[in-house]
Structure 1
Amino acid sequence: MHHHQSHEHHGTSGAEYWDGRYGENARMWSGKPNAALVREVADLAPGSALDLGCGEGADAIWLAGRGWRVTATDISAVALGRAADHAGSAGVADRIDWQRHDLEQTFPEGTFDLVSSCFLHSPWDMPRELILRRAAAAVAPGGTLLVVGHSGPAPWADGHAQEVHLPGPREVLDSLELAEGQWEVLVCEEHERVQTGPDGQQFTRTDNTVRVRRLPA
């Protein structure tokens, strides 16, 4: 885990940073879908889904396996290539459209029955609130926006990572600036989960989940 790299991002793009991070590891993430996604989406009827910051594709592949048609985006071409391979192995390649986006610059077109943003955090200033407001705008009437994030830095994070602001669920909800009377707030809560740190130690981290539904027109 080369956290010191985050200091050197001046002059490197987010894409270069993340391609480098993925390039250092044959597999960076567990390959399992996010538990909060599984918990919140299991009761939804499948439709179209947008997965923002899909990484190696575990969430998108899980959704596709449940019958969703998924548009999955990431800034890293390396991650997307890996995700497409995993989707092929899982037999769901035809249900997922992988798109490379730096969400600060470009955003997928259309509206979706589910827009999911799980741990869309960056080691430098990314306009996350702006991106999440765009995510809300991409929710179809009757559709769901799911935002899962960390409420605070990892216990092993270095000083630079500690400076990245990680908002709690109420703050996330407020930052979405949802239009009055058009949305229903279903979940806005913190929850703890145990995570294994880089040296194998177990830590408890506080994450948060915000799930809102756009009321049908």
Structure 2
Amino acid sequence: MTETPAPTAAEFWEARYRDSGPVWSGRPNKLLVREAADLTPGTALDLGCGEGGDAVWLASRGWRVTGADISHTALVRAAGHAADAGVGDRTRWERHVLGETFPEGSFDLVNAQFLQSPVALDQARVLRRAADAVAAGGTLLIVMHAGWPSWQTEPPFEADFPTLDGVTGELALPRAGWTVVRRETVRSPHVSPEGVEGHREDNVWHFRRAAA
């Protein structure tokens, strides 16, 4: 009996969006709002932008945003949301299989929220590329789940959750060129799809690159 080959990352994520209605709420991630609300708007890159919640929020605050995602369907939805919000002229959307291709240019803010995948993703390589894309004086913001939510007693698949020290070590940012603004684990209340109350912990890395 021939086994069905595992889907590629592109196939997995395209099916995830194509075969369902909206996957995300459309609201910006709370930790992005906390960390970026006081930043001076400039150019921003939103990696793994999905349906555009973060990118649209940034654009509504005056940023010029490039959103990158692996899913064509997600990008079409993101563009529609940007147009509906009146910020279509401040957003652009690019399809990338991160780890293989990456947006060109440098940005005042590079945002990577929950860039985690149950299928193959060279996370360390993507985050190093993200750091390289930060302009002088700019910000690198990374947020990752630190573990399964409290109600998930039987994880649906094996996952290697990044640690604060692990990601910091993989980035290997030179101390002379970068400042650690924040590096912490945040616990916040969450409710499961079934209505079970609990919490989830997320790791936050906020770095600022030295000005030229």
Same fold by TM-score greater than 0.5: yes
Alpha-carbon shift at residue 157 of structure 1 (Å): 7.4
DSSP 3-state at the match of 2:203: strand
Partner of 2:10: 15
- Kindly indicate whether residue 59 of structure 2 is the aligned counterpart of residue 61 of structure 1: no
Using structure 1 for the length normalisation, give the TM-score.
Answer: 0.91
Using structure 2 for the length normalisation, give the TM-score.
Answer: 0.93
Deviating 4+ runs (over 4 angstroms): 157-160
- Kindly indicate whether residue 28 of structure 2 is the aligned counterpart of residue 33 of structure 1: yes
Q: Percent identity?
A: 50
Q: Is the Cα–Cα contact under 8 Å of residues 173 and 188 in structure 1 kept in the other structure? A: no
Q: Is the Cα–Cα contact under 8 Å of residues 125 and 164 in structure 1 kept in the other structure? A: no
Alpha-carbon shift at residue 156 of structure 1 (Å): 2.9
State the aligned residue count. Answer: 209
Q: Where does the alignment leave 5 or more consecutive residues of structure 1 unmatched?
A: 1-7
CA distance in 1: counterparts of 2:110 and 2:162, whole angstroms:
19
DSSP 3-state at the match of 1:38: helix
| RMSD, matched Cα | 1.7
Alignment of 1:1-217 (within 5 A): 10-154=5-149, 155-156=151-152, 159=155, 161=157, 163-217=158-212
Which stretch of the first structure deviates more once superposed, 197-206 or 40-49?
197-206
CA distance in 2: counterparts of 1:57 and 1:103, whole angstroms:
17
DSSP 3-state at the match of 1:80: helix
DSSP 3-state at the match of 2:44: strand
Alpha-carbon shift at residue 173 of structure 1 (Å): 1.6
More helix by share: 1
Which stretch of the first structure deviates more once superposed, 178-187 or 66-75?
178-187
DSSP 3-state at the match of 2:13: helix
Q: Where does the alignment leave 5 or more consecutive residues of structure 2 unmatched?
A: none
